[in-house]
Structures are given as C-alpha cells and as structure tokens.
Structure 1
Amino acid sequence: MSEPSGSGPRVDCHVKLLDERVVARAQRRGLDVLVYAPHFTRWPEIRERAERFSDEDLLIVPARELFTGAWGDRKHVLALDLEAPIPDYLTFEGTLAELERQGAVVLAPHPEFATVSVDVIDLNRHSGAFHAVEAYNPKHRASHNRRAREIAMETGLPAFGSSYAHLRRTVGEVWTTFETTIDTPEDLHDALRSGVPRRVFRRSGPRHRLRRATEFAHLGWENSVEKVDRIVLSGREATHPRHLAYEGRFDDVAVY
C-alpha cells in the first residue's frame, strides 16, 4: 500500500453519498473519478444522479453494491455497467448469474470482512465472475486490510482501493490510479475488465486514523435492528426483490 503519490487518473472506487459538498471535497483532494453506489437505491435513480453531478472536472460513475443472501449471512458484490436493475437479497449464485447475463463489471468489496463479504473460497469457486478485489478499505481494521491484500495475491485478481465513504469527510482518503485515460464511465469499465495496471494509495496520519474509526463506528447504525426491519421485512423498499418494479422476474432466486 502506498502513501499519497503516483500518476494517472485518481479513482475513488466506492462512495455511498453524492451531493455538492461531496463533489467539492473530491475536487479539493485531487480526485478525477468517483464510483457512486448508495445502499438500497434503484439503478435508474443512481444513474440519473451520477449524470447530474458529473462534469469535466469530476466524472461520477454509477454502480450498485448488491446485497446477496439473507441479512445475517449476506455477501456484498459491487457491480458497474448494468444494463437493467437488479434487486438486493437474491441468492449469491442468482446474483452472479444475472450479472454474467448482463456482462457487468463485478468487484469484491471488503473481502472477508464481518458477515457481509465474499471470501477467498467464493472468489476461487467463481474465479471468472470477478474482475478485481478490494485491497484497502478505511472501515477495515489493520488486520483486515492485510488479509485483503493476501486475498488479492492468492486469487491473482487485480486490486482496487476505495474510501467506501458513508461520511463526507472520508471521500478521498483512499484512491486507485490507473495506467490509462479515464474520461467516461466506459473507460473505467474497460480498465477494470481488462486488468489495466493500477496502484492503490491512501492517506495516513492522525486524521486518517480518526476517519477510519468514525467510519467503523458508523457500522453500528448501518446494521441496526430498526434498519433491518425497515428494509428486509417491509417488502416496499426500492431494491426489495418482491417490489412491483421487478415484476416477479427474480422470485425464483429471492431469499425474502
């Protein structure tokens, strides 16, 4: 893992929030690209918001962090270049099959972290399904980041890093530089699919440690019982597999 340096377009490969303040912070921190993948938001809305905040100074690329499996044993999968919406809470295999059908870019965020991640067994078993694995995430403990780097080496998958920012101040704490030009979402898709050489960078020092701790503390709310009841049990949330928007297309692989 490298300290701030390097050339090539700077991509924060996963942020959860997007507004004027996020854009301003990203630009102050020298980023060229943000990958925007909020929780429980349908693909058309993500795509529209990404387009609205993109300009010649900062490219916003839409993505979906898909929750697969049941809440207590879910595995997150980060997907770019979707051609149609995919709900959360499908089986892991059902999600991967749909992503393959769409020809999406598929990344493994925060591997082997808590109960929300793919592990090295998943990645080896589905070796052709993933294009990269995350090697640094601020929500990780130091041991988790070490293990993430080991997983990248064990699987032979290219690495990427992201701020995984759920809080504005974390945007730009981590980025990945690619040895290619990235001016459009398609450029990033192609770089990830083809395994273009890249390097992962992060900030350091007391402020970085504080922001990591704050992001980790945010997990408590993110996994609260109240949120589980609202999202999983209601059936009315935008990315619930039984939502009317999906017209029953995923009923055979839905876990709720």
Structure 2
Amino acid sequence: MSEGTRVDCHVKTLDERVVSRAKAAGLDVIVYAPHFTRLPTIRERAARFSDDELSVVPAREIFTGDWRCRRHLLAIGLSEPVPDFVSFEGALSECARQEAAVLVPHPEFLNVSLTRAEVGAHRDAIHAVETGNAKLFDHQNERGERITAAFELERFASSYAHFPGTVGAAWTTFETDLETAGDLAEALRTGASRRTVVRSDPATRARRLAEFTHLAYENSWGKLDRLFLSGMEPTHPRHIAYDDRFDDVAVY
C-alpha cells in the first residue's frame, strides 16, 4: 500500500543544509521557488540537489503588479519562463497556457497576497490556497481555511522557509506517490487527495520570529535595494531574456 508523498510546497532557499533538514523531517519533495530568479537557473539548482531520497521541484513565485500592490502566485509545472512585474491577469493567462498549477501563497497577508474577493473572482484559474504556512501565526493561516471553505478550493501547506532550519515545519501529504515535477503539478491541478500539517513545537515558533525579522528586512532595505540600487532584475519583463513577449502585460 502506498504511503503517499510528503511535500514542502514552498521553500525559498536551497543548499546542503536544506536537503539534510528536509530528509530528517521525512520529506519526499520540496518545491524550490526563490525570489527574482529565472526559471532555467531554478531548474539547474533544483536538479543539482535532487537525488533518490529527495526530489527538488523547480517553481516560480510570480510577483504580479507593482511594488505598491503585489499579488503573488506560486506556479508549479511551468514549461517556459514567466517574469515578475506583469499584470495579475497576464500571469494567470500565461500559467493557463502552459498548464501550470496555480497556487495562492499566504492569502490576505499584507499587500503581497490575493484577497478573499480576488480568489473568489478567479477561483476557476486557481488550483489551491495555502492554509498552513509555518511563517505565519494561527489567525493568519485561518484566513486561508475560510477562503478554501468559501470557494470549495483545495489547500496546501508549506514552510515558506527563507532559512534552512524552517524547512519541514509544514508540509502537504498527497495520498499517491509523486515521482516527478510533472506528477506534482498534475496532482495539484486535478485536486488529488491530501492532508496538511503545520508543526507547533517551541523550536518552530522560535524560527517563526526569525523568519518575520527577515521579512521586515525584505520589505524595507531589500525593497529599496531592488528598486534603486541593483539595476534591472533578471525576472523583469523587459529583460532581454524574455524577447519582448511580455511587453503588453508589463507594469514597469
């Protein structure tokens, strides 16, 4: 009888420590989706750290909209690169064209997430909503639970780890065996049976505070650096790598 597949559906960092932590937590798959990194680079690094014990699935957390009003989408199963800073509708359309699974991370969190109304308006294009994020507090995760119930959507959980120690603090267990990135994308798109877990031990709660400190940096100095000091992001829609394909939906 199959024991299923335990997946941390969203991590932002990847190295030997992450792999060791994931294996120690009993994970079978981690989804690697770093910020502002092009899909070919993500794929190359994911392949480097995958082995027979742990599969690293490449994905993109797409920043739609501008810095004042961002709506993040987690896309799993993309066949071609998709940039950041495109319109929300443009990102959804491109994900649909590529038949990628579209997930909503951290719903209604600050100004970087889809609202309940937006999820409802686009529910037919969305395959799952995050109801368990190890970085968030219980009352914040409960928003995702209410949204999935209201619109009869599937759920997922992730560590959303920016630090290796947070990997494995939350996961989604699918009842079937998933061996490839394509398998995971298909399971998400078709609503495969699953259950979610978020750990609540003291060590996990302590790491949550560290992750929130990092979040404050990312949305202050990190934001300033990306806007004014670092030049054009590799995932900017007008970057030469995208061959002008996204000019009509670019917001910058």
CA RMSD after TM alignment: 1.3
Structure 1 outlier segments of 4+, above 3 Å? 232-235
Question: Does residue 26 of structure 1 match 2:26?
Answer: no
Q: How many positions carry a matched residue from both structures?
A: 249
Q: Distance in 2 between matches of 1:121 and 1:179?
A: 31
Q: Distance in 1 between matches of 2:168 and 2:24?
A: 9
Q: Contact between 1:138 and 1:215, CA under 8 Å: does it hold in 2?
A: no
Identity of aligned residues (%): 56
> Once structures 1 and 2 are overlaid, which stretch shifts more, 211-220 or 51-60?
211-220
- Counterparts of 1:30-49 in structure 2, within 5 Å, are 30-49=26-45
Deviation at residue 211 of structure 1 after TM alignment:
1.3
Which residue in the other structure is 2:5 paired with? 9
1:72-123 CA distance string (max 9 Å, x none) = 1101000011111111010111111111111111000000111100112111
Q: Taking structure 1 as reference, are residues 186 and 231 closer, same or farther at Cα in structure 2, changes over 3 Å only?
A: same
Question: Does residue 214 of structure 1 match 2:210?
Answer: yes
Unaligned residue ranges in structure 2 (runs of 5+): none
> Once structures 1 and 2 are overlaid, which stretch shifts more, 137-146 or 109-118?
137-146
Question: Does residue 66 of structure 1 match 2:88?
Answer: no
- Counterparts of 1:170-209 in structure 2, within 5 Å, are 170-209=166-205
Q: Distance in 2 between matches of 1:128 and 1:93?
A: 13
One-letter code aligned to 2:8: D
Q: Distance in 2 between matches of 1:186 and 1:241?
A: 26
Q: Distance in 1 between matches of 2:227 and 2:153?
A: 32
Q: Contact between 2:86 and 2:237, CA under 8 Å: does it hold in 1?
A: yes
Q: Taking structure 1 as reference, are residues 235 and 248 closer, same or farther at Cα in structure 2, changes over 3 Å only?
A: farther
Question: Does residue 82 of structure 1 match 2:54?
Answer: no
| TM-score of the two chains, using structure 1 as the length reference | 0.94
Q: Contact between 1:14 and 1:34, CA under 8 Å: does it hold in 2?
A: yes
Q: Distance in 2 between matches of 1:179 and 1:246?
A: 38
- Counterparts of 1:58-137 in structure 2, within 5 Å, are 58-137=54-133
> Once structures 1 and 2 are overlaid, which stretch shifts more, 242-251 or 37-46?
242-251
| TM-score of the two chains, using structure 2 as the length reference | 0.95
Deviation at residue 235 of structure 1 after TM alignment:
5.0
Deviation at residue 43 of structure 1 after TM alignment:
0.3
Q: Contact between 1:235 and 1:243, CA under 8 Å: does it hold in 2?
A: no
Work out which of the residue numbers 239, 243, 248 in structure 2 matches 1:247.
243
> Once structures 1 and 2 are overlaid, which stretch shifts more, 44-53 or 231-240?
231-240
Q: Distance in 2 between matches of 1:94 and 1:65?
A: 14
Unaligned residue ranges in structure 1 (runs of 5+): 1-6
Q: Contact between 1:88 and 1:239, CA under 8 Å: does it hold in 2?
A: yes
